């Protein structure tokens, strides 16, 4: 790209949470600047640790092996519920009528009765806190019309997220179908989508206990919800923010755990842990490893952008903006004080220009190597000037020349 090169000095980074390879044993190995790190040892046969804002994989173990996720399936159900809320298709206060099919769900449930009415928000709590299969089906029917249609929506959404090894058969993970599978990597991908696109989910995932009220033909009765994610009550050096547990005889013990510390959000996905406690222990091991080895750099004060001249436009210049903020996950305890920025802008911009057109790049270099970049885009449309625009411009030009000469311009 031909452009104007602007060099910027060092900028500050932020402390935070490595890229790893699959180990042959129970350990996860990670590459570091000093060589091979033995990494954390976990009992689960499949797991991954991801940083949420960048999507960087810190470490993984058999992360692409398809397995049954049990109730971790409900993360995708929640994504579709929040998609519908965001679009205005449904609202938190909408009332949902429990169908006979929803009532018939076994496994973990909140014991909804056929014909029972609950609000969307109450059912979200039932799904998130108590992992209610009946509540999941009730919401699937409310959003999709029926569970089958909703499951098709789940699979389409998964495809859009790049979840290459996932197929959903139901909306709650109760099925024992061998076709109902996902991977630790795909769990991390959908977990990332939920917590970054809909951060309000933590208003529900951090609730430890809450009561709901069943109102049926038999009368009104309180029912207590207790969170299945016991990490919320474990002593850790990070803040647990979610996310979802799952277990069946086929899936064994699964977990997507999310946490925050020093502005860094991590996702630990565990599949097929051998017992109830092992999944939580493995998650803590991975999260501690992540927070102990990685740092996150965020450029919160990028350089101010000039306006660029536009040839043949109705406007003489176009305003610029950054397409996205820049974040970079250092995997080896890098010192970000030497981070340098390099701005390159197009020198020759011709109309028409559409808002969003890429007109430059802001690159970031650390120790002489580029570690990433963000696009510089047009912040407005600039249409091509027509004959009337040229006549207006010429009139203004002649008037200015006349005033400079001390005379009067006459049409």
Task: Point out the residues that are catalytic.
Answer: 71, 74, 131
Strand-pairing partners, residue 41, are: 27
Within 8 A by CB and 6+ apart from 69, the residues are 173, 180, 181, 182, 187, 246, 251, 254, 271
In terms of Cβ atoms closer than 10 Å to its own Cβ (0-12, 13-18, 19+), residue 366 is: buried
Structure-block tokens of residue 372: 């990433």
Closest CA to 328 of 369, 287, 289: 369
| Strand duo 349-350 + 308-311: pairing | parallel
**Helix, strand or coil for residue 372?**
strand
- Inter-CA distances, 262 with 16, 77, 151, 238, 301, Å: 6, 30, 37, 9, 19
Closest CA to 100 of 115, 87, 90, 82: 115
Residue 290: HSE in the Cβ half-sphere, 13 Å Cα cutoff: 33
- Please give the distance of CA 340 from its chain centroid, rounded to a whole number: 27
């Amino acid at each position: 790209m031909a452009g104007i090169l602007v060099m910027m000095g060092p900028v500050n980074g932020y402390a935070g949470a490595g890229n790893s390879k699959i180990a042959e044993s129970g350990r996860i190995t990670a590459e570091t600047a000093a060589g091979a790190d033995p990494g954390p040892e976990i009992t689960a046969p499949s797991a991954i640790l991801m940083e949420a804002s960048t999507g960087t994989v810190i470490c993984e173990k058999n992360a692409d092996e398809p397995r049954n996720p049990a109730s971790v399936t409900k993360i995708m159900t929640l994504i579709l519920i929040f998609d519908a809320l965001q679009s205005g298709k449904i609202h938190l206060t909408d009332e949902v009528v429990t169908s006979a099919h929803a009532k018939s769900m076994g496994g973990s449930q909140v014991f909804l009765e056929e014909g029972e009415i609950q609000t969307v928000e109450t059912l979200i709590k039932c799904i998130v806190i108590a992992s209610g299969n009946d509540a999941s089906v009730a919401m699937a029917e409310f959003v999709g019309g029926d569970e089958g249609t909703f499951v098709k929506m789940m699979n389409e959404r998964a495809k859009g997220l790049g979840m290459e090894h996932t197929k959903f058969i139901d909306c709650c993970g109760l099925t024992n179908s061998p076709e109902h599978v996902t991977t630790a990597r795909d769990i991390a991908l959908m977990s990332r989508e939920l917590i970054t696109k809909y951060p309000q989910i933590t208003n529900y995932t951090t609730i430890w206990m809450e009561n709901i009220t069943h109102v049926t033909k038999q009368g009104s009765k309180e029912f207590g919800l207790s969170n299945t994610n016991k990490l919320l009550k474990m002593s850790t050096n990070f803040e647990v923010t979610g996310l979802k547990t799952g277990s069946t005889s086929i899936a064994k013990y699964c977990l997507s755990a999310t946490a925050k510390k020093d502005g860094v959000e991590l996702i630990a996905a565990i599949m097929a842990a051998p017992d109830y406690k092992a999944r939580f222990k493995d998650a803590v091991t991975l999260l501690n490893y992540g927070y102990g080895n990685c740092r996150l750099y965020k450029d919160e004060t990028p350089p101010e952008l000039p306006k660029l001249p536009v040839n043949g436009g109705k406007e003489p210049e176009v305003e610029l903006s950054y397409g996205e903020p820049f974040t970079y996950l250092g995997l080896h305890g890098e010192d970000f004080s030497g981070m340098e920025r390099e701005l390159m802008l197009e020198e020759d911009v011709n109309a028409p220009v559409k808002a969003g057109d890429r007109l430059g790049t802001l690159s970031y270099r650390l120790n002489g190597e580029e570690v990433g970049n963000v696009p510089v885009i047009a912040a407005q449309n600039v249409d091509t000037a027509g004959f009337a625009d040229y006549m207006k411009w010429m009139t203004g030009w002649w008037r200015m020349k006349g005033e400079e000469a001390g005379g009067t311009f006459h049409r």
